[in-house]
């Protein structure tokens, strides 16, 4: 982690993950602004998205300071996925299923509060970064450059890769899916 010395004292510059292969550096204050905008523009700290007939939800945990995401509706693949879950409960065992960040912490969902995941609360004090540094110090010290805050874009990317893999599994499984 780098530190930026500015008007407000020493401000952390944080690695922000956009997808599994890309991270950028942002001032902590800019991350807090993005998270605050998400919260303001969401309902109960969650937003619903649509992708390839699927619905997924991204939520931000204000108290903990991280995002999580869940696929909630499966469109025309609902019957296939429901039947497959009855036979093979654990989606991580499905051959070809995309492995989301940190593994599944719920059916078709995951969170970004794992090893090397930094938390950013929209209530973090922009005039005093000590609380943020104390909360994240373990991962900052142990990270060797790997610790990062997982952004909303990161969660979108993970969920859409999961959806793509579910569609591919259903297609390759030669399952007849009605195009209604």
Cα distance between residue 25 and residue 164, in whole Å = 28
Cα torsion through 83, 88, 91, 97, rounded to 10: -80
Q: What is the pLDDT of residues 63-94, one digit of tens each?
A: 888 999 999 999 999 988 888 776 766 677 67
Residue 127: which H helix or E strand, with range?
none
Predicted pLDDT at 176: 45
Q: What is the pLDDT of residues 10-49, one digit of tens each?
A: 677 888 989 988 989 888 888 888 988 998 899 999 999 9
* Residues whose CB falls within 8 Å of the CB of residue 97, separated by 6 or more in sequence, listed in order: 91, 162, 165, 166, 169
Predicted pLDDT at 180: 45
Predicted pLDDT at 116: 79
For residues 28 and 132, the model is more confident at: 28
Cβ neighbours of 124 (radius 10 Å): 19
């Amino acid at each position: 982690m780098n530190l930026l010395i500015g008007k407000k004292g020493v401000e952390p510059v944080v690695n922000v993950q956009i997808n599994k292969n890309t991270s950028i550096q942002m001032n902590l204050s800019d991350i807090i602004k993005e998270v605050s905008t998400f919260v303001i523009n969401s309902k109960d700290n969650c937003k619903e998205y649509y992708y390839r007939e699927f619905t997924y939800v991204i939520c931000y945990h204000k108290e903990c300071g991280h995002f999580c995401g869940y696929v909630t509706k499966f469109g025309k693949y609902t019957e296939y996925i429901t039947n497959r879950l009855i036979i093979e409960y654990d989606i991580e065992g499905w051959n070809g299923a995309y492995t989301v960040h940190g593994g599944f912490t719920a059916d078709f969902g995951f969170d970004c509060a794992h090893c090397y995941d930094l938390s950013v609360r929209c209530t973090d004090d922009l005039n005093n970064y000590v609380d943020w540094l104390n909360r994240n110090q373990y991962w900052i010290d142990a990270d060797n450059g790997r610790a990062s805050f997982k952004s909303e874009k990161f969660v979108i990317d993970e969920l859409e890769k999961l959806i793509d893999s579910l569609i591919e599994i259903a297609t390759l499984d030669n399952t007849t899916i009605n195009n209604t």
